[in-house]
Amino acid sequence: SSKPETRAFEAEVSQVLHLVTHSLYSHKEIFLRELISNASDACDKLRFAALSDAALTADDAELRIEIVADKDARTLTIRDNGIGMTRDEVIENIGTVARSGTRRFLESLSGDARRDTQLIGQFGVGFYSAFIVADKVTLTTRKAGAPAGEGVRWESGGSGEYTLETVDAAQRGTTATLHLKEDESEFLDVWKLRDLITRYSDHVAFPIRLPKMHEGAPTDEFETVNHAAALWTRPKNELKDEDYQGFYKSISHDFGDALAWTHNRVEGSQSYTLLLYVPEKPPFDAVLSGRDERKGLKLYIRRVFIMDASEQLLPSYLRFVRGVVDSDDLPLNVSREILQENRLVAQIRGACVKRTLDLLEKLAKDEPEKFARFSATFGNVLKEGIAEDGANRERIAKLLRFASTASEGEAKTVSLDDYIGRMQAGQDTIWYITADSHAAAKGSPQIEGLRAKGVEVLLLSDRIDEWMIGYLGEYAGKKLRHAGKGEVDAEVDGSEAERRKQAAEAAQPVVQKLAGLLGGRVSEVRVSHRLTQSPSCLVLGEHDMALHMQRLLREAGH
């Protein structure tokens, strides 16, 4: 054993600690879920390491998590016999904000406590949540495979500093002891703990054990209180909605529910299980914008956790999906490089896309209110699929929702099928207009003519729309056309055509005068039939970039 060494937390850790303890108080019991989830991760890591070095678990093969409350000492202990940590790892993992996610998290804080609390939930604040209920935390750990003399004790009151000490540790793994604050005695109650475990951690795949009770007092014997089986391996008809929601929370660290999920066992040339969730709440802005590193789809091989493989198993436009893929056939020593080019992985990825689109279609059909919430949150991410996934373009397009001249306000509620259902006799074009804002799209002079004739126009005002719609030339055999490009309607009958011809001739002197005045700044001045109220508008050639897109590119410095 060495003399304790005192070290300062990184400034950012202090910030996180302060924030966590202050804004998460209303969800204080999440600390238990977070510490159990760390213990479970540590067991996963050891099981994986033992695949190539069986000696690591030889002396103590049953991976488990134990929780002990001591009423006299007022401590709550969470103990695992997982991978453990070396001294350097303790410094790296517990004393610094090593993970870039933490940094982004801090950057995204707004000072709005309610919003921040949700963000923390999404982010899974992890180990530091212990300080919501504890005024001192002692962590003792020994790395699997290290000698008993290389144990490490870390201790902190959660205010800027911690101490570190080398100690003897008889067993591998990590023990976190929480010295509970005055008001937190409820977490010393075994029934309360049991309730929390079954509520939040029932589907942790390792046994979570509590002391057996005898005449109201804990004994030295332990019993397992969670289900301790990988949820996705259980038959669907045995699982209730609460089971799925509980598991969702345990893998996503979300406080809220999932919106929908799909659970499938595939047997055939290769066998695997998929359990995919669509979240209810928007995650980080960074996730929506695609700047975040992608996380949230866990790859298991024959029940052994291998790695987070979102990037390999899901295309970017489905990056909001959370869940588990468990393969029977991939080799356990699979690496990221192998995953990139593996044929079985490509098949599983195809299945993930198909099942997600199936799920969204079903939601749109059976639960339109839920689907509307999905659209509002993730609709713009899904649009990227129009460009990214040519093979599924039509299916994705079917799921998109837009504002239109026929819908109320700015809400995006109109599907392309709705539009087609309302088309006028003889109309074979889906008209749209793009602009910087809904108001600008709606008020655009370029659509006056169509509106006057009662032709519906989709009003696109999201930044991604112009780019996306360029990839969607056609839907269900109907051409999509920009209402501000080229000639709007060649399809008029004889007398109308004659009237237009005369009007155009009568306007010739004005047209020539304007053309002279504008000179090289326009390519042509012509009489338009698309206007009903405005005297003039700018029109693009059939193949010119839309005005809105030109402006975006200018803004971006092109």
**Residues binding Mg ion (CB under 5 A):** 38, 126
- For the CB of residue 43, give the shortest distance to ligand ADP in the complex, in Å: 9
Nearer to ligand ADP, 253 or 482 (CB): 253
Q: List, in order, residues 6 or more apart from 454 with CB less than 8 Å away.
A: 424
And the tokens for 446? Answer: 């370029």
Instruction: Tell me how many degrees the CA angle 230-234-236 measures, rounded to the nearest 5.
Output: 135
According to the binding rule CB under 6 A, does residue 42 interact with ligand ADP?
Answer: yes
297-301 and 322-327 beta bridge pairing: parallel
Q: How far is the CB of 38 from Mg ion (least distance, A)?
A: 4
Beta carbon nearer to ligand ADP, 41 or 243:
41
* For ligand ADP, the closer CB: 34 or 448: 34
Residue 323 makes contact with ligand ADP by CB under 6 A:
no
User: What distance in Å separates the CA atoms of residue 398 and residue 417, rounded to the nearest whole number?
Assistant: 7
Binding to ligand ADP in span 120-139, by CB under 6 A: 124, 126-127
Q: How far is the CB of 385 from ligand ADP (least distance, A)?
A: 29
Judged by CB, which is closer to ligand ADP: 126, or 246?
A: 126
Only segment of 32-40, 185-193, 196-204, 429-437 that touches ligand ADP (CB under 6 A): 32-40
Instruction: Decide: 460 and 432 in contact? Cβ < 8 Å.
Output: yes
Residue 109 main-chain phi, psi, to 5 deg? -65, 140
Q: How far is residue 261 CA from its own chain's centroid?
A: 14
Nearest approach in angstroms of CB 90 to ligand ADP is 8
From the list Mg ion, ligand ADP, none, pick the one residue 394 interacts with, judged by a Cβ distance below 5 to 8 Å according to partner type: none
Number of residues forming the site for ligand ADP (CB under 6 A): 16
Closest CA relative to residue 190, chosen from 69, 36, 79, 76: 69
Is-contact 375 367, C-beta < 8 A? no
Which is closer to ligand ADP, CB of 84 or CB of 121? 84
Q: How far is the CB of 45 from ligand ADP (least distance, A)?
A: 7
Least gap, CB of 311 to Mg ion (angstroms): 21
Would you say 175 or 444 has its CB closer to ligand ADP?
Answer: 175
Closest to Mg ion by CB, 203 vs 393, is 203
Which of the listed partners (Mg ion, ligand ADP, none) does 316 bind, with a CB threshold of 5 to 8 Å by partner kind?
A: none
- Classified as helix, coil or strand, 166 is strand
Of residues 296-315, those binding ligand ADP (CB under 6 A)? none
How many whole angstroms separate alpha carbon 477 and alpha carbon 405? Answer: 22
Q: Which of ligand ADP, Mg ion, none does residue 547 bind (CB under 5 to 8 Å by kind)? A: none
Minimum Å distance from CB 442 to ligand ADP? Answer: 45
Angle of helix 30-52 relative to helix 190-200, nearest 10 degrees, comes to 60
- Nearest CA to 65 out of 49, 81, 41, 85 is that of 81
Q: Which long-range contacts (CB under 8 A, 24 or more apart) does 547-550 make?
A: 547/484, 548/434, 548/435, 548/436, 548/466, 549/434, 549/466, 549/467
Quick one: 96 or 437, whose CB is closer to ligand ADP?
Answer: 96
Cα separation, 370 vs 257, whole angstroms: 12
Among 13, 46, 68, 94, binds ligand ADP (CB under 6 A): 94
Q: How many residues does the chain have?
A: 558
Q: Which residues in 46-85 contact ligand ADP (CB under 6 A)? A: 80, 82-85
Q: Which is nearer to ligand ADP, 38 or 201 (CB)?
A: 38
Q: How far is the CB of 10 from ligand ADP (least distance, A)?
A: 13
Q: Does 34 bind ligand ADP (CB under 6 A)?
A: yes
Helix axes 113-123, 11-23, angle to 10 degrees: 110
Residue from 363, 450, 347, 349 nearest 398 by CA: 363
Site string for ligand ADP, 162-201 (x = CB under 6 A): ------------x---------------------------
Question: What is the amino acid identity at position 96?
Answer: T
83, interface contact from ligand ADP, Mg ion, none, CB < 5-8 Å by kind = ligand ADP
User: Which residues are within 8 A (CB) of 308 and not within 5 positions of it... i.e. 6 or more apart?
Assistant: 295, 296, 297, 298, 299
Nearer to ligand ADP, 12 or 41 (CB): 41
Binding site partner of 456, from Mg ion, ligand ADP, none, Cβ cut-off 5-8 A by kind? none
Q: Which of 38, 140, 262, 404 binds ligand ADP (CB under 6 A)?
A: 38
What number of CA atoms fall less than 13 Å from residue 206's CA on the CB side?
26
- Point out which residues bind ligand ADP (CB under 6 A): 34, 38-39, 41-42, 80, 82-85, 93-94, 124, 126-127, 174
